[in-house]
């Protein structure tokens, strides 16, 4: 009776399910016991919890990016562009969440981070295989970065396979050709495991799209979705750089990279080059 009275005082609807002996609960569905028990601190420092959760949640967001981008690639390869637009819009929103996560991490001060940084050993965000898969899906292919995964045979094979798959930009270029725009055959049949190089015929094809948006509206919308994603990816990288610089300065990364100098080089990479270069010629 006391429990019923408390439920009524708090406005609990009578129809709300409260008996989960034989029903699946919210926590069951989401496997919260597994997720919330995965924050295993290696130090007794208060801020290590922040550090772990930021990186774990980032990996979950990256998983969703890959889910959406890979599905979008398949749609575009079928020249079925419209379903990909929602997926790509979602990706850009997820990227905004990832960018915001760096702002949260900046509340970790250098003095506090030094209290547990040594516990990381040689582990590093450089080793994030999902981040690499995102780069591959966006067209930044680099076989040299696969070496850090050789100790995990199944993962290494997965990464090698992904390296040889068409990126979303390769798919977009194939959509240009499928819609009657002339693209050099060498681009359409190129080695997908190699990082894409700009091509004049691709730029001319995109220029035709931008000069006649009514005729090529779907291709135009696809192009702008890709530009959004490319910009957000660069913003994420920039915030990564500034966060690292703020917390550890120019120390080397725990995984052996040069740290800030390496991150500055990464920012120089340009996604979907013709979609940016064409703007000067319009």
Task: Tell me if 51 is assigned to a ligand binding site.
Answer: yes
Task: Tell me if 169 is assigned to a ligand binding site.
Answer: no
Task: Tell me if 254 is assigned to a ligand binding site.
Answer: yes
Task: Tell me if 113 is assigned to a ligand binding site.
Answer: yes
Distances (CA, A) of 85 to 31, 48, 206, 222, 228: 31, 38, 18, 7, 11
Task: Tell me if 117 is assigned to a ligand binding site.
Answer: yes
Q: Angle of helix 168-178 relative to helix 217-248, nearest 10 degrees?
A: 170
Task: Tell me if 269 is assigned to a ligand binding site.
Answer: no
Neighbour-count burial of 72, counting CB atoms closer than 10 A to its CB (0-12 exposed, 13-18 middle, 19+ buried): buried
Task: Tell me if 40 is assigned to a ligand binding site.
Answer: no
d(CA 202, CA 215): 18
Task: Tell me if 54 is assigned to a ligand binding site.
Answer: yes
**11, two tokens:** 């406005």
Task: Tell me if 45 is assigned to a ligand binding site.
Answer: no
Annotated binding residues for substrate? 51-55, 113, 117, 254
Annotated binding residues? 51-55, 113, 117, 240, 254
Annotated binding residues for heme? 240
């Amino acid at each position: 009776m006391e429990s019923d009275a408390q439920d009524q005082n708090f406005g609990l609807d009578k129809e709300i399910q409260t008996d989960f002996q034989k029903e699946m609960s919210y926590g069951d569905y989401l496997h919260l016991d597994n997720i919330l028990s995965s924050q295993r601190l290696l130090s007794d420092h208060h801020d290590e919890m922040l550090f772990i959760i930021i990186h774990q949640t980032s990996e979950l967001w990256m998983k969703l990016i890959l889910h959406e981008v890979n599905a979008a690639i398949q749609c575009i390869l079928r020249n079925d562009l419209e379903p990909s637009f929602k997926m790509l819009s979602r990706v850009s929103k997820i990227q905004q969440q990832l960018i915001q996560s760096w702002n949260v991490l900046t509340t970790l001060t250098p003095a506090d981070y030094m209290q547990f940084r040594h516990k990381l050993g040689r582990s590093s965000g450089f080793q994030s295989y999902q981040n690499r898969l995102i780069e591959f899906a966006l067209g930044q292919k680099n076989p040299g970065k696969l070496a850090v995964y050789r100790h995990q045979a199944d993962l290494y094979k997965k990464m090698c396979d992904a390296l040889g798959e068409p990126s979303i930009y390769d798919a977009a270029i194939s959509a240009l050709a499928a819609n009657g725009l002339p693209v050099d055959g060498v681009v359409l049949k190129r080695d997908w495991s190699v990082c894409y190089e700009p091509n004049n015929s691709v730029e001319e094809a995109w220029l035709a799209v931008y000069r006649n948006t009514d005729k090529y509206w779907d291709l135009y919308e696809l192009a702008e979705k890709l530009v959004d994603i490319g910009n957000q990816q660069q913003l994420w990288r920039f915030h990564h750089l500034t966060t690292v610089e703020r917390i550890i300065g120019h120390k080397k990364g725990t995984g052996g990279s040069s740290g800030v100098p390496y991150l500055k080089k990464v920012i120089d990479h340009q996604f979907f080059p013709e979609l940016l270069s064409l703007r000067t010629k319009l």
